[in-house]
Amino acid sequence: MKYYSNEIVFRSHPDKVCDQISDALLDAYLKEDRNSRCGIEAVGGKNKIFITGEVTSKTKVNIEKIVKRVLKDVGYSTNYEIINNLGVQSIDIARGTNNEVGGAGDNGMMFGYAIRDNKYFLPTAMVILQEFSKEYDKLRKKDKRFLPDGKAQITGIYDDKKLKKIKTFTICYQNTEEERNITDEVLKEIVKKICSKYNIEIEEFLINPTGRFEIGGFEGDAGLTGRKIVVDTYQSFAPVGGGAFSGKDPTKVDRTGAYKAREIAKKILKENKKYYWCEVQLSYAIGKQEPLAIYIHTDKGDIIPNQELYRECSLKNMIKDLDMYNIKYEEKAKYGHFTK
């Protein structure tokens, strides 16, 4: 037996709000011009939202309208100054990523992961936190005692990679501090109901350990696109390539390569019952179509990829196979990009 921890931030945590802003803007650009090249960053805090990065697109987007719509959706005030600092994509990058060349939008390595914990091929503790985050978002919309910001963490007891029990379920949630004895119990019951579906018991809860959490959002903290890449991927159960997803169009292999690596890992487990978990690494060079290397590791050892898989993982093929231009990226930015 061993202890292991993982965490999630709620969709209204400042960093996640910035992720959603970046992807909402990306969706808007791609909706009218699928050839838009985007790398959109958002910074939020203290009555200002700063939008920067690069966009080359035929589409004209109302930046302020979209940002304020996202702020309203997550439960924030819309009384923010929106500063547009977007520029255009470097022509040096465009030389290797235009439609004729079809090369990767950046260097980098991406990881995909799957585990035979449940029907979703995700770690059970990760699924529990994602479900809880979604339930919290529903709760704060109907009960004004619950405010938008927050996060949760599981410290689990494991036998190898299998979650046996939760030692400590930690919740930090922004609230009005009215009837805390009641609101704490409401959250405990939600967690217990979720965990019971997976036959997981909880030894103890730790809720708002400082004793108070009333000031939150951009008043309590700054937010930044891409600062929650571990939450966005596998909550520490697998390596992270290092590149964020939000605000990046499908030519960016940070995003497309990571999505593809996850699909490869799931496929391997579905096709071969002898593996309990699978980890896939893809690596790319900017302007090159196919990956430099594919590494596949399982609990039974390594798998040597064939040349067909290299061709399958070219940027053009990944975009087509994953239908990357018909994904609503803002939705993916809410609770993590790999969900059930």
CA distance 143 to 141: 6
**Which tens digits make up the pLDDT trace of 52-63?**
999 999 999 999
First to last CA, the chain: 27
Q: Is there a domain that residue 312 lies in?
A: no
Most confident of 83-92, 101-110, 158-167, 263-272: 263-272
pLDDT at 149 over 80: yes
Kindly report the backbone phi and psi dihedral angles of residue 46, in degrees, each rounded to the nearest multiple of 5, phi listed first. 50, 55
Q: Is residue 166 part of a domain?
A: yes
Q: What share of the chain is helix, strand, coil (3-state, %, to 5)?
A: 35, 30, 35
Residue 39 belongs to some domain of the structure = no
Dihedrals φ, ψ of 175, to 5°? Answer: -155, 170
Task: Reply yes or no on whether the pLDDT at 189 is more than 90.
Answer: yes
Decide if 231 contacts 218 (C-beta within 8 A).
Answer: no
Q: Among residues 35, 23, 39, which one has the least CA distance to residue 90?
A: 39
Amino acid, res. 67 = V
Query: What confidence score (pLDDT) does residue 99 get?
Result: 64
Per-residue confidence at 105, pLDDT binned at 50, 70, 90?
A: low
Picking from 340, 334, 337, 4, the residue whose alpha carbon sits closest to that of residue 136 is 334
CA distance 195 to 91: 51
Q: What is the token pair recorded at 226?
A: 């891409």
Evaluate whether 110 touches 259 at the Cβ level (below 8 Å): no
Question: Considering the chain, what is the average pLDDT of its residues?
Answer: 95
Exposed / middle / buried, residue 309 (Cβ in 10 Å: 0-12, 13-18, 19+): middle
Between the alpha carbon of residue 19 and those of residues 74, 118, 145, 210, the distances in Å are 12, 28, 25, 27
Residue 264 to residue 62: CA distance in whole angstroms: 37
pLDDT at 150 over 90: yes
pTM of the model: 0.95
What is the model's pLDDT at position 161?
80
If you compute the radius of gyration of the chain from its CA atoms, what whole number of angstroms results? Answer: 21
Specify the pLDDT at position 106: 76
- Residue 129 covered by a domain: yes
Instruction: Please tell me the predicted confidence (pLDDT) of residue 220.
Output: 93
- Note whether residue 144 is domain-resident: yes
| Mean pLDDT along residues 108-131 | 97
> Between 317 and 107, whose confidence is greater?
317
Closest by CA position to 246, among listed 267, 227, 265: 227
Average pLDDT over residues 13-35: 97
Hey, which residues does 7 pair with through a beta bridge?
Answer: 153
Beta strands 301-303 and 293-298, pairing class? antiparallel
Residue 267 lies in a domain: no
Residue owning tokens 């579906």: 197
200 assigned to some structural domain: yes
- Number of domains observed in the structure of the chain: 1
Q: Which tokens belong to 141?
A: 């919309």
- CATH at 182: 3.30.300.10
Q: How confident is the model at residue 258 (pLDDT cuts 50, 70, 90)?
A: very high
Give the whole-angstrom CA distance, residue 259 versus residue 245.
10
State which residues form the domain around 137: 2-8+124-218
What amino acid positions are annotated as catalytic residues? 13, 15-16, 41, 54, 151, 213, 221-222, 227-228, 248, 252, 254
Question: Between the CA of residue 249 and those of 24, 62, 326, what are the distances in Å?
Answer: 12, 18, 12
Domain presence at residue 155:
yes
pLDDT in tens, 40-54: 999 999 999 999 999
